Amino acid sequence: MEKSNKNQEFKTYDLLLVLSLVAAVSLVIASILGGRLEDPNVKRVQRDTEALIGQLLGWGPPAETLDDGLGEPKEEQRELASSGSDFPLGKEGIVGIDPWGQAYRFQVVEIDRPRSAYLLVWSNGPNARNDSGDNFGWDRLHDQRQGVLFRGDDLGYSKRLY
Looking at residue 19, what is its pLDDT?
A: 94
What's the first-to-final CA gap in the chain, in angstroms?
95
Per-domain residue ranges of the chain: 40-160
C-alpha closest to that of 74 among 56, 92, 49: 92
Over residues 95-147, the pLDDT tens digits come to: 888 888 988 888 888 877 777 788 888 888 888 777 766 665 565 565 554 56
pTM beyond 0.75: no
Q: Is the pLDDT of residue 149 over 60?
A: yes
Percent of the chain with pLDDT over 70: 61
